[in-house]
């Protein structure tokens, strides 16, 4: 047990972590371009927030939350998603009183007690954006377009953008009645979960993964059949804005998403090559959520993607993932006295902004050279007895396999010139 990580968790090790850092850089970069500011919220919150903010008839809340009683006898939950916390912070820090819209992004670990499968973990990582304070359908299109822009930048191809409108509180009761009328004679054929959903939230029957339910649901009335005029106008405008950007999309009448809080626009991005569950991100508008969480009526829309799934899709599609360039310099020494000089030089090299390391295992000169080569170091700076006497160092270019003797005081300048002249290829 001691040397095993808990089921559904992952170590992100050197060699793999560079991919994460690359994705995080790309995400921060694109958020900067689109005018989103980062928000960092706690990893746990009062359980009540998720009961309200995610919806207590959802799978997440019913089956998947990491909830525990802390030493102060309060119920707290490891966050299963990012939106509820963003809403809580928006309210607690009174961002609604400032200029609108408020455009936020977050990235970090989330927790769900789910059955682990390809690309799905109990501790997983999400990136997401939230926009509060605007009803404008152009914002829906911006959030959708930003996600597609991001996928394009990291080289993902053959993606399918699915969009739908899931209606609003004005048209939901109509839809609810239509769905209940449709499923009433078929109630006995639904799975036990859906028989419960029939009363509590019939829309979620359309989201069921059981084949008997999805077969029945294929004939059911859809949200689009029941939209009110204002929902129809909003949806038409979202599509118009996507057309302006020449973004192809599929209107997917079956798309309802798993969370209760969506209104109007819902969207999801599908990638081939990552198995049956091919979604690599999605989101939607949630105009009622801020009010549900105790705030003033405030429109909102968000989007989230799972980084593990993105990395899986990138690997399966053979996307270029930049690898770590390795150390610039390894300082190689022979003898105790040379070690003192080398230790001093090592820190001078680092202070000049060049990455460097040295031997700490008292290896032979030959073994040090071998180690430096294996570590993919570009230069070896060698200080032996000869060099110590003449106050010089041998600088060996490991890539070009050539070397030169350089005065000790000139080593850094020499390295800088070499690196400027021939930067290392990634």
CB of 191 or CB of 394, closer to Zn ion: 191
- Please, which residue, 174 or 315, has the CB nearer to Zn ion? 174
As measured in angstroms, the least distance from the Cβ of 187 to Zn ion is 11
Q: Contact residues for Zn ion (CB under 5 A)?
A: 167-168, 170-171, 191, 194, 208, 210, 213, 228, 231
Residue 5 buriedness (CB in 10 A; 0-12 / 13-18 / 19+): exposed
Tell me how far, at minimum, the Cβ of 263 lies from Zn ion, in Å. 8
- What is d(CA 36, CA 39) in angstroms, rounded to the nearest whole number? 9
Cβ atoms < 10 Å from Cβ of 152: 11
As measured in angstroms, the least distance from the Cβ of 226 to Zn ion is: 8
User: Toward Zn ion, which CB reaches closer, 83 or 265?
Assistant: 265
- Cβ-based nearer residue to Zn ion, 170 or 244: 170
Nearest 10 degrees: CA dihedral of 127, 280, 12, 79?
Answer: 50
Give the C-alpha distances (Å, rounded to integers) separating 61 from 74, 122, 274, 340.
17, 14, 26, 60
Whether the CB-CB separation of 111 and 273 falls below 8 Å is answered with: no
Q: How far is the CB of 189 from Zn ion (least distance, A)?
A: 10
CA dihedral (395, 398, 403, 404) positive or negative: negative
Torsion of CA 69, 74, 79, 85, to 10 degrees: 180
Measured from the CB of residue 234, what is the shortest distance to Zn ion in angstroms?
A: 8
CB of 209 or CB of 424, closer to Zn ion:
209
User: How many angstroms separate the Cα of 135 from the Cα of each of 140, 147, 297?
Assistant: 9, 19, 11
Q: Give 114's DSSP letter.
A: -
Helices and strands of the chain, counted as H and E runs: 15, 16
Minimum CB distance to Zn ion smaller for 174 or for 350: 174
Please, what is the minimum distance in Å from the beta carbon of residue 71 to Zn ion? 39
């Amino acid at each position: 047990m001691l040397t095993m990580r808990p089921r559904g968790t992952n170590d992100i090790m050197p060699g793999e972590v560079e991919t994460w850092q690359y994705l995080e850089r790309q995400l921060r970069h694109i958020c900067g371009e689109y005018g989103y500011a980062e928000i960092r919220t706690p990893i746990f919150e009062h359980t009540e927030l998720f009961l309200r903010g995610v919806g207590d008839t959802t799978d997440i809340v019913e089956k998947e939350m990491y909830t525990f009683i802390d030493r102060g006898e309060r119920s707290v939950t490891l966050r299963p998603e990012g939106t509820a916390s963003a809403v809580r912070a928006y309210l607690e820090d009174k961002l609604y009183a400032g200029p609108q819209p408020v455009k936020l992004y977050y990235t970090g670990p989330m927790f769900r007690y789910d059955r682990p499968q390809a690309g799905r973990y109990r501790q997983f990582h999400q990136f997401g954006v939230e926009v509060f304070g605007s009803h404008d359908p152009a914002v829906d299109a911006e959030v959708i377009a930003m996600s597609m822009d991001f996928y394009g930048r990291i080289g993902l191809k053959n993606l399918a953008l699915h969009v739908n409108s899931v209606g609003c509180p004005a048209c939901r009761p109509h839809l609810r009645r239509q769905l209940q009328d449709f499923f009433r004679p078929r109630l006995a054929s639904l799975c036990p979960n859906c028989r419960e959903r029939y009363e509590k939230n019939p829309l979620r029957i359309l989201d069921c993964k059981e084949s008997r339910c999805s077969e029945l649901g294929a004939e059911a009335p859809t949200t689009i059949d029941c939209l009110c005029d204002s929902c129809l106008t909003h949806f038409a405008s979202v599509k118009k804005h996507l057309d302006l950007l020449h973004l192809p999309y599929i209107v997917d009448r079956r798309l309802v998403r798993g969370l209760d809080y969506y209104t109007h626009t819902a969207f999801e991005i599908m990638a081939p090559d990552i198995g049956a569950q091919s979604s690599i991100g999605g989101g939607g508008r949630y105009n009622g959520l801020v009010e549900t969480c105790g705030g003033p009526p405030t429109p909102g829309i968000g989007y989230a993607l799972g980084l593990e799934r993105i990395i899986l899709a990138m690997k399966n599609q053979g996307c270029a993932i930049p690898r770590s360039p390795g150390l610039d310099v390894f300082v190689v020494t022979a003898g105790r006295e040379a070690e003192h000089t080398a230790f001093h030089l090592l820190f001078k090299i680092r202070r000049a902004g060049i990455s460097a390391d040295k031997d700490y295992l008292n290896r032979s000169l030959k073994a040090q050279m071998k180690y430096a080569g294996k570590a993919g170091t570009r230069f070896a700076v060698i200080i032996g007895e000869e060099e110590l006497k003449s106050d010089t160092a041998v600088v060996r270019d490991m890539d070009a396999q050539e070397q030169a003797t350089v005065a000790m005081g000139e080593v850094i300048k020499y390295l800088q010139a070499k690196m400027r002249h021939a930067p290392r290829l990634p």
